[in-house]
Amino acid sequence: MVRARQILGIAAVATAMAFAGGASAQNAAFHNAPASAKATKNPEGHSAEAATAGGAVYQQKCAMCHGQKAQGVANIPALAKGPTQTVTDGELFWFITNGDVANGMPAWGTLSEKQRWDVVAYLKTINTAKAAPAASTSVGADAPVGNGQGAMIASAPMPTPPFLDFRTEEPGKIHKITVKDLPAPFATKSANNGPRLVPRPEGVWPKVQDGYKVDQYVSSGIEEPRNIVTAPNGDYFFAESTPGNVKIARGITADGKPELVATYATGLNKPYGIAFYPPGPDPKWVYVGNTNSIVRFAYKNGDLKATGAPEHIADVPGDGGHWSRPVVFTLDGKKMYVPVGSVSNVDDPDTTPAELNRADVLEFNPDGSEMRIYAYGIRNGGGGAAVDPKTGELWVSVNERDGLGDNLVPDYITHVEPGGFYGWPWWYMGGHQDPRRLGAHPELQNKVITPDVVLQPHFASLGIAFYNGKQFPAEFTGDIFAAEHGSWNKNIRGGYELIRVPLHGTGKASGEFEDFMTGFVLPDGNAWGRPVGVTVATDGSLLVTDDGSNAIWRITYTGAKSGD
């Protein structure tokens, strides 16, 4: 039987032709907005008054997900650029009114018509001088604190184990969620609770267990640090994704700071993945995963700046809702893996051309040739990928789908089997069918692979690293550390932490995960930091990027435990 994904190309072509034939009726490139919407004019115009009023509404209703300056947050798209800036006012108004609930965009028809048109005016002028004040418009004294969470958190019951939220996250605490624990779809209302980032308050610091210490390795001069990797010579390469840069932090001084921070490359397109090739102590190339391509720079150990232009290696599906592209190599260097997230929440790839070669792990030769689908049905493995240095297995960190409730569907961390199917969008772990795709592909139900580690739903699991250092306790060797970024789709926040996944010295997980570094959410529900990437430093400490407070944290083991 031909796999569903193998026939996707045919379906995609047919659907694309159908869209082309109906182009006069709708804008398929912008949520199928009808032609009547395209021609609708904004009665408020783009006046400064309308833009200012729209900016206030935006800060109250939209900034929590899309960012206070419409820059986008994590995998939630920017509105200050991209399709929002190229479609007509009428199409944008139509989308604000109707939303796309299945893919996480609420319908805002409850706002008055004037408010919706004012938001359009704000977004359409956000990049001009006149609109600048609106970006920082106060939402007023009656604006909800903590994204409206403060009072709700005070009265909300604690989560029922094994499920959790930030109130029950505690360094050293072990959790285990199994398929048997999963609720039915829609057992609880699906939330719209994007992170409202605030500056880190005085005296607030990440929390770790006794015997560990957290310091700021880099505390200024960086913007949106995302993925981070350790180069063979000990330099720390990290991506500033939205600015389009790859930077290097070198060394660790006596006071725990880098000896220097340098800009290795600029002008990239949402860089994320960084990998050195060939594997081993003397790489000749550094590969970078742009959102729409894989490129590489000629490299020798110690380079602080790219010595030439990037060489294009391969195209990959670009942009869309899940834009990050990790890059990792097999231990022998013969193959390159690139996980690519879906463009949507639960769109059917059989009929959605934009999903072609997405929600997959793609495999290439190092020169970009012979692309094939290595594994499929992985909704978004673009947050983190790593190869186990002991077993050679590929592991990914996965953001699962939204909209089925507060505790469904779990994110996960798992090893990836060649040809493996992980369920998206028709099924999810344990062969459960997504009710939004009822009746589709019954032949795939028994092929769904249950992942190794089931995480709290809506953790937004991102960067992962295998611990190969000598500083932490010996039993940590080979374990996985993973950054949990936190999602908009949970009623009371979960994630916003670093976790440890024990592999018990065997390369196999038994399903548990441990809170390792917490404290990025305040009691009122505001978040001040969001872990993204993690790497093992040359001295065995951990470096963790945080795109919420634009910092890199360093976790060291002191060995001094209370009561000793």
Cα–Cα nearest to 116, from 96, 135, 101, 99: 96
How would you list the strands of the sheet with 461-466, edge to edge?
174-176, 512-517, 497-501, 480-484, 461-466
pLDDT at 102: 63
The C-alpha angle with vertex 464 and arms to 182 and 201, in degrees rounded to 5, equals 85
62 DSSP 8-state letter: T
Does residue 421 surpass a pLDDT of 90?
A: yes
- Residues 169-193 pLDDT 10s: 999 999 999 999 999 999 999 988 8
Cα–Cα distance, 234 to 238 (Å, whole number): 13
Kindly tell me the sign of the dihedral angle through the C-alpha atoms of 106, 109, 113, 115: negative
Q: What is the pTM of this model?
A: 0.82
Q: What one-character-per-residue DSSP string does 78-109 give?
A: PSSSTHHHHS-HHHHHHHHHH-BGGGTB---T
Mean pLDDT of 516-530: 96
- Residues 48-93 pLDDT 10s: 888 888 888 887 778 767 876 887 765 677 888 888 898 899 889 8
Cα–Cα distance, 529 to 122 (Å, whole number): 27
Domains and CATH numbers, the chain: 31-135 (1.10.760.10), 166-557 (2.120.10.30)
pLDDT at 28: 57
76 DSSP 8-state letter: B
Does residue 15 surpass a pLDDT of 50?
A: no
20 falls in which pLDDT band (50, 70, 90)?
very low
Cα–Cα nearest to 435, from 185, 180, 102: 185
- Residues 200-242 pLDDT 10s: 999 999 999 999 999 999 999 999 999 999 999 999 999 999 9
